[in-house]
Structures are given as C-alpha cells and as structure tokens.
Chain A
Amino acid sequence: MQHKRNPQLNKNGELIHLLSTEGLSKQLLTHILDTAENFVSVSDREVKKVPLLRGKSVFNLFFENSTRTRTTFEIAAKRLSADVINLDIARSSTSKGESLLDTIANLSAMAADIFVVRHSESGAPYLIAQNTAPHVHVVNAGDGRHAHPTQGLLDMYTIRRYKGDFSNLCVAVVGDVLHSRVARSDIHALTTLGCAEVRVVGPKTLVPADMAQMGVRVFNNFDEGIKDCDVVIMLRLQNERMNGALLPSSQEYFKGFGLTPQKLALAKPDAIVMHPGPINRGVEIDSAVVDGPQSVILPQVTFGIAVRMAVMSIVAGNDA
C-alpha cells in the first residue's frame, strides 16, 4: 500500500501548511518553537517589524467568530510586513450561497499568499489546502472540534518558556475536552515533544471515552487529576457547542471542576496555570487564580503573536 504523504509537508518534509499538530515530528515542532523565540524579541525593538512577508498578502478567513486569534494573526502578519485582509466570511458570500471552494477560488484570484482559516466544520482547512494554488499556504486557526494548532504551539512555547524540558513534566488538561480542539492540539504536541505525563481531567460527559488511546491518563476526579502537576491547562466550558444536557448547571460544574486557589494547592507549588481564553470567570476558573501569581494566561496571548509569526514565516519560506 502506498504511504500517503502528510498534506502539511512537501516532499522534503518541510512545513507548507499548518493544519494540525498531529503528524508533525518533534524536530519540526521544536523548529517552530525555536523560530518563535527569535520573534518574541521583535516586540522590544525600536522598529517592531521585519520584512519577511513584504509584498505578500495574508487573508484572514474567519467563518466563525474570533477576536483574540484573529487579532493576534493580524498583528503577527503585520509585524512580518504582510498586507492583511480580514474577511468576515460568515456575513458575506457564504451567506449568499457561495460554496467554500468557490470563495477560495475567488480570493486566490486576488493574489492571496496565505489563508488563515477558522471554520466551525472540522477538516475545512484541509479541504482548502488540497484545492488551492500550489503557492498558497493555509494555516488552520481552529476547525470545529478537530484542531487549533497555533494555540497548541503557543501553549508548548509557554510551557517550555516557564518549565524548560518536557521530559520531567506532568501536564493536566482540564475541563470540556469533548468540544475542545485546543485539547487535541495540546495533547498531540505534548506527547510528540516527550512530555512525561499528560493527564486529561473532566466529568465523564465531557471527556471522550477513547481519550486514553492518545497516550494520556484520564481522570474523572479533579483532585486526583490535578495532584502534583507542573502545568494546569484549563479549558473553557463551551456552552455554544453543547447539545443536550451534558451538565446539570455551570454552578455545579464549578463545584466539581472549577479551579480555585484551594484546588490549585494540590498541584506542585510552582505549577503554572494556562487558559486559551476567553475565560469564564466563576465557571471553569476562579478570578483569584486568573489574576494570581501562578497564572500565565496573559503571557500566553503575547507569545501567541511570536508563534504565529514563526508559523507564517516558515510556511511562506517553503515551496509546495
């Protein structure tokens, strides 16, 4: 049987699209994180811009709402000197009945170089990557429940920045794993980077049954799941994706799985707390933890710019 090539890589194994952290090697993930390290310091320069994407056009195609991700992609592209076009697709052509591929064909005709795509349907960025012109690169900014690779990478960058090597770390991903593309991207990246222990913590209704197959330990008890962890990644309770009664109420959820200072005390004393945002204070996390000394939630946002600069400059530098 012929081995199918990873659609994110060219024949030399170089990254041409970023669609998922799944299937990327440790070497490639490390290369992205190392490259991001170079871009973090660009914010400290007198001129906060580098010319790597000068003359290139980055189209932000957000078929689903987003503020933080779209804004950080926009800042990242502008710091790379690209021209940025933000399209609120949900309110334009598709609402008039145009197909996804027709929209892409039209935008390609406007000389796009990079598409940053967010879509509520899992796999939409793959479809675009497979049907776009060879010189166009696609970066997944979140597709359905499937993947959010730049969030996964910025989480890895944040962990590496605060904790160094992954090989001695215990990382707990806590909350609504069922609906979370961030959780999947984090887990794939953590296991590839050699994290010693990855835990998934949440109520049975919000943790998929097959999770253990991804190389993680599943805990349905918060106290046990968080005990002695180095990193706690809290996930947002995704009310907008909930169909059916998966939870009694958000208050009940907070009682069982909300991160309070008392619960955090079960983790290691120097544990860091992360959250992909937006935060539901008092639902999955207490305000005292969000604003507390162990929280690295705002640095995550800052690092997100450097990581997205790294991803866009790497894919743009590689030919299909």
Chain B
Amino acid sequence: MSTVNQGQIELDAESIYKEFCAGIKPLIKPNTALVGVISGGAWLVKRAVQDLSLSSPFGVISSGLHRDDFAHRGLSDGGQTKLPFQVDGADILLIDDVLYTGRTIRAVLNELYDFGRPSSVRLAVLVDRGGRELPVQSDYSAVRLSLAPGRKLTLEQDAGGRFNFSLESKSAT
C-alpha cells in the first residue's frame, strides 16, 4: 500500500489497479464471491475477474435504495444490484473504487442483507482518501490519501476499459 499526500503526486489509476489486483489476491478464497459497488467498483470487479483469471462467482451492488441522502438528493440513475449466487452463508469481498465517508458502504451492507445473511463481508478499495464519518474501514486499500473535503476523486473508465482518476474541486452540498 502506498501513502501519498494530496497534490504531491499524480494518481496513475492503471498502476494503482495493478497493485490492487496483487493486493486482493490473497483475500480471495475458492468460495469467495466478489461484489463490486456500482459504478466504479463494478468496473473493477469485471476487469479483475478477467485479469486474475478467477472462477469465483461475482456480482454488482447498488447503494441507491438505502442511501441516507435520498431525502435531498433523490434517486440516482445507475445500475441495479445483480447477485447471481446464494448470498446466505457466502464469503463476500466487497470492492469499491474510493472509500471516503463510509456512507456508501453502510448503504451497500443494508442492500446486501436484503438478499440474505452472508457468513462474512470484507472490503477492498483502490483508494482510501480518509474523511470517514462512520466506523467503516477497508481490509485492503492500494493507496491511502488525505484529501480535503472539497475535493472530489472519481474513477473513470474509457471505452477500452482503461482506468483514469479525475480530481476536482466541488461546491459544498
């Protein structure tokens, strides 16, 4: 895992992704199901399953129906949860691009439990940018950053499947 300061370094998403693949490999047991959080985590899972030649079951999950900011942000567009395996008793490795406040992961855990009771859930992320507002931690992060609340870090994927990070200043919401 690398630790960098904001502004000090350009985030090379492709090399972070390679480090991420190497980092999650030991976390994947034969019965582990990979679940990517829509949208960035879903891209990561789909590519990692191919690049690591995994035969593990995998799915994607949306935080949309359990978000705590629904009352003022409304429903967001995006994909829907697809978990094509038995969630009851499953060992699940959740995968997301950026871990920030922890609110998305809280919502995703609630969503997951609507499908059954997994035996264990772990979390791996590409970037942990700090700024947690809930007691949520990752089991693995490829990069740890400290970003000011006003910055927005987003993973993007081009038509060829390659990753890129965009870092913007956002207006306070």
Against A, the Cβ 8 Å flags (1 = close, 0 = not) of B127-142 are 0000000000000000
Q: Considering only CB atoms and an 8 Å cut-off, how many residues of chain A contact the other chain?
A: 21
Q: Which residues of A contact B113 (CB under 8 A)?
A: 47
Q: How far is the CB of A146 from chain B (nearest CB, A)?
A: 27
Contacting B75 at CB < 8 Å: which of A41, A42, A49, A313?
A313
The answer to whether A51 touches B66, judged by C-beta atoms less than 8 angstroms apart, is yes
Asked whether A45 is an interface residue with its Cβ less than 8 Å from the other chain, the reply is yes
The answer to whether A52 touches B114, judged by C-beta atoms less than 8 angstroms apart, is no
A51 to B72, CA, bound (A): 15
Asked whether B85 is an interface residue with its Cβ less than 8 Å from the other chain, the reply is no
Could you say which of B73, B74, B80, B115 has the most chain A C-beta atoms within 10 Å of its C-beta? Answer: B74
Q: Considering only CB atoms and an 8 Å cut-off, how many residues of chain B contact the other chain?
A: 19
The answer to whether B80 touches A41, judged by C-beta atoms less than 8 angstroms apart, is yes
8 Å CB interface, A78-108 against B: none
Q: Which residues of A contact B116 (CB under 8 A)?
A: 46
Contacting A38 at CB < 8 Å: which of B65, B71, B87, B110?
B65
A42 to B66, CA, bound (A): 13
The interface stretch among A29-37, A246-254, A273-281 is: A29-37
Contacting A45 at CB < 8 Å: which of B66, B73, B74, B114?
B114
Asked whether B41 is an interface residue with its Cβ less than 8 Å from the other chain, the reply is no
Asked whether A64 is an interface residue with its Cβ less than 8 Å from the other chain, the reply is no
Q: Which residues of A contact B80 (CB under 8 A)?
A: 37-38, 41
Q: Which residues of B contact A31 (CB under 8 A)?
A: 77
Contact flag A314-B72 (CB < 8 Å), given A45-B115, A46-B116, A50-B114: no
Q: Which residues of A contact B77 (CB under 8 A)?
A: 31, 34
A313 to B67, CA, bound (A): 12
A282 to B117, CA, bound (A): 50
Chain B residue at minimal CB-CB distance from A314: B75
Contact flag A50-B75 (CB < 8 Å), given A37-B80, A38-B80: no
Asked whether A317 is an interface residue with its Cβ less than 8 Å from the other chain, the reply is yes
The answer to whether B74 touches A14, judged by C-beta atoms less than 8 angstroms apart, is yes
A270 to B123, CA, bound (A): 48
Asked whether A197 is an interface residue with its Cβ less than 8 Å from the other chain, the reply is no
Q: Which residues of B contact A319 (CB under 8 A)?
A: 72
A314 to B110, CA, bound (A): 21
Q: Which residues of A contact B73 (CB under 8 A)?
A: 317
A316 to B81, CA, bound (A): 22
Contact flag A52-B65 (CB < 8 Å), given A31-B77, A35-B75, A319-B72: yes
Asked whether A191 is an interface residue with its Cβ less than 8 Å from the other chain, the reply is no
A211 to B141, CA, bound (A): 62
Could you say which of B75, B81, B87 has the most chain A C-beta atoms within 10 Å of its C-beta? Answer: B75
Asked whether B36 is an interface residue with its Cβ less than 8 Å from the other chain, the reply is no
Q: Which residues of B contact A42 (CB under 8 A)?
A: 65
Chain A residue at minimal CB-CB distance from B80: A38
A313 to B77, CA, bound (A): 13
The answer to whether B72 touches A52, judged by C-beta atoms less than 8 angstroms apart, is no
A41 to B81, CA, bound (A): 9
Q: How far is the CB of B55 from chain A (nearest CB, A)?
A: 26
Contact flag A317-B70 (CB < 8 Å), given A31-B77, A50-B65: yes
Contact flag A317-B74 (CB < 8 Å), given A41-B80, A50-B65: yes
Against A, the Cβ 8 Å flags (1 = close, 0 = not) of B120-164 are 000000000000000000000000000000000000000000000
The answer to whether A46 touches B75, judged by C-beta atoms less than 8 angstroms apart, is no
Asked whether A318 is an interface residue with its Cβ less than 8 Å from the other chain, the reply is yes
Could you say which of A47, A313, A317 has the most chain B C-beta atoms within 10 Å of its C-beta? Answer: A317
The answer to whether B74 touches A318, judged by C-beta atoms less than 8 angstroms apart, is yes
A14 to B114, CA, bound (A): 29
A41 to B65, CA, bound (A): 12
A-B residue pairs, 5 tightest by C-beta:
A317-B74, A50-B65, A47-B114, A38-B80, A45-B114
A-B contact pairs, 28 of them (CB 8 A): A31-B77, A34-B77, A38-B62, A38-B64, A38-B80, A42-B65, A45-B114, A46-B87, A46-B115, A47-B113, A47-B114, A47-B115, A49-B114, A50-B65, A51-B65, A51-B66, A51-B110, A52-B65, A52-B70, A52-B75, A313-B70, A313-B75, A314-B74, A314-B75, A316-B71, A317-B72, A317-B73, A318-B74
Can you name 6 extra interface pairs (CB under 8 A) apart from A38-B62, A46-B114? A31-B77, A38-B80, A46-B116, A47-B114, A52-B65, A317-B71
